[in-house]
A and B are shown apart, each in its own frame.
Chain A
Amino acid sequence: MRAKAKLYPKEAARLLREKPGVREAVTGATLHFERNRLRAYGEVSIGAWRERAKAVKDHVLSHLDHYLELAERRLRENGVQVHWAETLEDAHRVLREVVQRHGVRRAVKAKSMLTEELGVNPLLESLGVEVYETDLGEYLIQLLGEPPSHIVGPAIHLSLEEIQRLFHERFGTPLDAPPEALAQVARKVLREAFLTAELGISGANFLVAETGTLALMENEGNIRLSTSLPKVHVAFVGIEKLLPRFQDLALFLPLTARAATGQRLATFVSLIQGPAREGEEGPEEVHVVLVDNGRTALLADPEAWETLRCLRCGACLNACPVYRQTGGHPYGYVYSGPIGAVLDPGLLSLEEAYPLPYASSLCGACLEACPVLIPIPKLLLTWRHRAVAEGLTPSWEKAAMKAFRKVMESPALYRLFSKALRGLPLPQDLLPLLRAWTEGRGPLKPSPKPFHELWKEVERGG
C-alpha cells in the first residue's frame, strides 16, 4: 500500500466536513470496544499479565535471530515451506510463484494487516486471480474499494444504512434488510468461494518458534475455512510475530482477545502445524513468508524498537480521542491511530509519515490501553523531536515557536499580547493560520478577561 500520510490533517478536516456520519459511527464502535476492554481487563490481574507479556516480547526481540532460525527449522520439520521476504517485492515474488505453479484462479483471504501492507490484493488481481476478502467487515470494504479503517473492525466507519444501500445495489436486497439477512447474503457468496478457491491467504497473530505453530484468532470462522479448504495455504508473518514457547500462547491469546474485543478468547483459534497429513483433509501445501519490510530497521532504532511488541489488537485506536473523530482513513497508511503514528514512521520513513506523530493530544490513553505497554506517548515525542531536528516542520512553525517562547518568558510581553489578542477584532477567516480552524467551525471567541486576572479574583474571593 502506498502511504498518503502527508495529507493527514487536510484529509481529516475534509472527512469531518463532508462525512459527519463517520465520526458518529467510529465513536460509537470504539467506545463499545473500549467498554468491553475495560471490563475484560478488570476481570484478571491485568497489571501482571501486561508486564509478563512485555517481558516475553522483549525477550523474543532481543534474541530475534535465534528465534527466527529456530522457527524456520521447526516449520521445515513440520513440512511447511519457509520463505524470507526482505521487501514487498520479495513477498510478491513468492506469491506470484505459488499462483503460477498451482494455476490459481480464485483465492480466499483472511483479514491480515500485513497483507494490506504488502498490497497482496492488487498483486493477485494483476495476476488474474479472483480474490475474496472473507472477514465480513473486510468483504464490505472490498466491495466499496476502500482500505480498512481499523485494525480489528475494518468497516467500523460504515453505518448500517450505508451497508444496506451497498447490498441493495450489489445483490438486490431490500433497503431495510436487517443485518442478519445481509450477513446471510455474504455467507452464501463467500461459502461458494471457500469451496472453490485453490489458494487461502492469511496473516498470523503469532508464530511459536519452539513448535513452528501458526496461531490465528477470529470470530467468524473464515480464517479456519481459508486455512482448511483450499489446497494451498500461504501465511504472511511479520518477523516480530514470534513467541518462544508453545505455552506462551496461554498468555498471549487471552490477552490479545481481552485487549481487542473484551473476550476471554477469540471465538475461533487456529493452531496450525503444517499441511494435512496422510488421509486427512486440509491444505496439501503450507507456505510461511517471513516478512521484514522495514522491521529490521525499526529493531535497530535505539528508541523506537519497542513499537515491535505490538500485537495489532487495536486497543489504542479505541482509546484515542483523536482517532475516534475520523477513523483510520485520513492517516493514509495501513496502520492508523496511536500505534500507526509511531509505527508508520518506523516502517516507512519519518519523511513519508511526517505529520502522523502530531495526530495526538498526548493524553496517554493509548498507553493505558496497550496490552504490551508500548510507551506510545513517549515515542510520539521522540518522532516529533526528530521531525524538528530533520527540518520537516514548516518554517512558520519554527518562527512561531520562537516568538511564543519570547512571549512566555516575559510576563510583561505576555500581558501585552494577551490584551491585544482579546481586544482586536481579528479578521479570523483571513489569517491563514486561523483559517484551518475557522473552516467548518464558528469564530474563536476570546475570554473577556485573561486567566491571570480571573485567578486573582478567585484568590481575593476565596
Chain B
Amino acid sequence: MEARTRILARVRRALKERPKALLPEHPHTPLAEDPVDLLLRRLEENGAEAMKLPREEAKAFAQRLAEGLPGATFGKTLPQDLRPPLPELPPEEAPLGVSWALFAVAETGSVALSSEEGRRVHLLPPTHLVFVEAGRVYGSLLEALQDLQSLPSALGLHSGPSKSADIGQVMVKGVHGPGRLIVAVLL
C-alpha cells in the first residue's frame, strides 16, 4: 500500500495549482450509406473477404468452405445450423475456425468477438470465418461502444487478417493470428 499512498500524494501535490480541464463530449457523425455495405467495403480494404447473404446461402457457403477439410473448431455461441458438417478439432489443430460475432462496426471494418465464445477459435486456425447478423452492424465505433450493456472478460475487435511488415517492410499475412478472415453478414 505504501507505493500507492506515495504515488497518489505526489499526484495531488502536482495538481494542486493546475487548472482543471473539462471533459468534452464525442459528437456522433451519421453515415451517408448503408452500414452493411460500408462494413463489407472496409473489410475488403483491410484485406479481409466479406459478403452479405441470406442465412440459407450462408450455410451453403460454410459447407463449400469446409469441403475437403479434416475438421474445424467452432465458437460456443455459433448457432448449430451454421456449423459446417465437419468433425470438431482442437483449435491448435483445426485448419478453420468458425465463430459468431457479437456485433460489427462499419466505419472501421471490424467484427467484435466475445470471450464467451472462446478465444483460441478466433486466433489459432489459419482461416477464420465469422458470421454476424445485419441488425448487429453499427455505423460507428462510438455507437457500438455506447450501446454495449455488459462487457465480456475479453472483447476482440478483428478488422482483417493478421499481418506484419517487420521483415524488411514487406507485408506478410498470417503471422500469428489467422491469415485469412472471412466475414459473412446474415441478411
Residues of A at under 8 Å CB distance from B?
28-29, 32, 52, 55-56, 58-59, 61-65, 68-69, 72, 84-87, 90, 134-137, 140, 153-156, 158-161, 163, 179-180, 182-183, 186-187, 190-191, 194-195, 211, 213, 219-222, 224-225, 227-229, 239, 244-251, 253-254, 263-277, 280-282, 290, 292, 296-297, 299-300, 305
By the criterion CB–CB under 8 Å, are A276 and B166 in contact? no
Sort A-B residue pairs by CB-CB distance and give the 10 closest, nearest first.
A221-B177, A160-B168, A137-B166, A300-B14, A58-B21, A250-B142, A296-B10, A269-B157, A84-B4, A265-B108
B127 at the interface (CB under 8 A from A): no
Identify A59's interface contact among B8, B22, B115, B118, CB under 8 A.
B22
Q: CA of A221 to CA of B97 in the docked complex: distance in angstroms?
A: 15
Q: CA of A297 to CA of B11 in the docked complex: distance in angstroms?
A: 9
Q: Which of A85, A183, A253, A277: most chain B CB closer than 10 A? A: A183
Contacts of B57 in A (CB 8 A): none
Annotate B173-187 by CB proximity to A: 1 below 8 A, 0 otherwise.
Answer: 011111000000000
Contacts of B159 in A (CB 8 A): 263-269
By the criterion CB–CB under 8 Å, are A179 and B170 in contact? yes
By the criterion CB–CB under 8 Å, are A180 and B3 in contact? no
Question: For residue A137, which residue of chain B has the nearest CB?
Answer: B166
Contacts of A161 in B (CB 8 A): 168
Contacts of B168 in A (CB 8 A): 158-161, 163, 179
Q: CA of A307 to CA of B123 in the docked complex: distance in angstroms?
A: 36
B163 at the interface (CB under 8 A from A): yes
Q: Knowing A55-B22, A265-B157 touch, does A86 contact B167 (C-beta < 8 A)? A: no
Interchain Cβ contacts under 8 Å between A and B, 15 examples: A55-B21, A56-B23, A62-B20, A68-B7, A72-B4, A160-B169, A161-B168, A183-B172, A228-B119, A254-B108, A254-B141, A271-B154, A273-B151, A280-B153, A299-B11
Interface set, chain B 90-135, CB cutoff 8 A to A = 92, 107-110, 115-116, 118-120, 122-123
By the criterion CB–CB under 8 Å, are B176 and A86 in contact? no
Q: CA of A292 to CA of B154 in the docked complex: distance in angstroms?
A: 26
By the criterion CB–CB under 8 Å, are A274 and B177 in contact? no
By the criterion CB–CB under 8 Å, are A246 and B158 in contact? no
Question: For residue B175, which residue of chain A has the nearest CB?
Answer: A220
By the criterion CB–CB under 8 Å, are A272 and B153 in contact? yes
Question: For residue B19, which residue of chain A has the nearest CB?
Answer: A62
Q: Knowing A156-B169, A221-B175, A267-B158 touch, does A86 contact B151 (C-beta < 8 A)? A: no
Residues of B at under 8 Å CB distance from A?
3-4, 6-8, 10-15, 18-24, 26, 42, 46, 92, 107-110, 115-116, 118-120, 122-123, 140-142, 144-146, 148, 151-170, 172, 174-178
Besides A277-B153, A292-B7, 14 other A-B contacts (C-beta < 8 A): A55-B21, A59-B23, A62-B15, A69-B8, A136-B164, A137-B164, A187-B176, A191-B176, A222-B176, A246-B145, A250-B142, A253-B141, A265-B157, A299-B14
Contacts of B165 in A (CB 8 A): 153
Identify A282's interface contact among B12, B42, B119, B145, CB under 8 A.
B119
Q: Which of B7, B11, B166: most chain A CB closer than 10 A? A: B166
CB distance from A254 to the nearest CB of B (A): 7
Identify B152's interface contact among A163, A248, A273, CB under 8 A.
A273
Question: For residue A45, which residue of chain B has the nearest CB?
Answer: B29
Contacts of A154 in B (CB 8 A): 166
Question: For residue A140, which residue of chain B has the nearest CB?
Answer: B166
Identify B7's interface contact among A86, A224, A225, A276, CB under 8 A.
A86
Q: Knowing A250-B145, A264-B42 touch, does A227 contact B154 (C-beta < 8 A)? A: yes
Question: For residue B150, which residue of chain A has the nearest CB?
Answer: A273
Contacts of A58 in B (CB 8 A): 21
Question: For residue A94, which residue of chain B has the nearest CB?
Answer: B3
Identify B154's interface contact among A52, A195, A228, A297, CB under 8 A.
A228
Contacts of B116 in A (CB 8 A): 280
CB distance from B133 to the nearest CB of A (A): 21
Contacts of A29 in B (CB 8 A): 169
Q: Knowing A250-B140, A269-B156, A299-B15 touch, does A135 contact B115 (C-beta < 8 A)? A: no
CB distance from B102 to the nearest CB of A (A): 11
Contacts of B154 in A (CB 8 A): 227-228, 270-273, 282
Q: CA of A323 to CA of B163 in the docked complex: distance in angstroms?
A: 26
